[in-house]
Amino acid sequence: MYRKLTRPTAKGIFVYLYLWFYASQGREVEKDYAELCALLNIRSYEHVSKIRVTMGLSPNELVSIGYLKSWDIKPMSSKQGYKLVLTPARAMKDVLVLTQRKQLAFAAAANDVPLSDSRELTRVARVENGVSEAKAAELARKLEPIGLLERVEYVAYQIESDSRGSIKNPAGYLISPSSRPSNRFPPPFVPVVRSLPMKGIASRKRAAAPAKPTRRVPEI
């Protein structure tokens, strides 16, 4: 599609179209005309008639290749100046759908990869405290194990200190993606988990699990 474009400005707009429509989830987007000219390093004009016969030729090319369904120039509502209103066409929407499918396929493949011992430990800790299996696995894959375990420890500390019973949903605190360093937790709380090696924590977790019975071979 890009090779079909002949105007440099049309090629410049083409580069940003995907980002704009991806951010808008395939809906119509509005772009400040003056800011767009600065972005593309081209001259801007004050009159609509002049804008249509200069920059307007480039959106027309994007319509011809099926990436834009339509475009228009309208006055800005919040300040002086004009804005370009761009509506995606079928070809642009197909690109967005294809990208979304690839992202979903990549996410599904990533979920099939087993978690390391330390990340599995953080997943189990969250599930035991009311977080759903899917959300706990997502957080365990995204964030560092130490930060996640510190948060579990901090929430447990808050619940123990909550004499009024104001914490009604501990799982909600554990879903928060923030994992701040231990020196930023409010005193007097000091996380213990950071002083322990992750391999040691995982080993102790496995050791705490009930041992499987062993079969004895009868003597002959």
pLDDT tens-digit series, residues 52-83: 999 888 999 999 988 899 999 999 988 899 99
Task: Tell me what pLDDT residue 179 has.
Answer: 44
Q: What are phi and psi of 142, to 5 degrees?
A: -85, -40
Greatest mean pLDDT among 20-29, 185-194, 197-206: 20-29
Whether 208 has a pLDDT exceeding 60, the answer reads: no
Query: Taking the model in full, what pTM does it have?
Result: 0.47
Q: How far is CA 112 from CA 65, 77, 105, 108, in A?
A: 39, 49, 11, 7
Task: Tell me what pLDDT residue 190 has.
Answer: 66
The average pLDDT across 88-92 equals: 87
Rounded to whole angstroms, how far apart are CA atoms 147 and 153? 10
Element (H, E) at 88: strand 82-88
Share of the chain above pLDDT 90, in %: 20
Peptide bond into 114 cis (omega under 30): no
pLDDT in tens, 114-158: 777 777 777 777 777 778 877 877 777 777 777 777 777 777 777
Query: Looking at per-residue confidence, does 216 or 111 come out higher?
Result: 111
Joined tokens for residue 38: 């600065």
For domain 2-95, give its CATH number from 1.20.1260.10, 1.10.10.10, 1.10.10.60, 3.40.190.80: 1.10.10.10
The average pLDDT across 90-109 equals: 73
* CATH 1.10.10.10 segments of the chain: 2-95
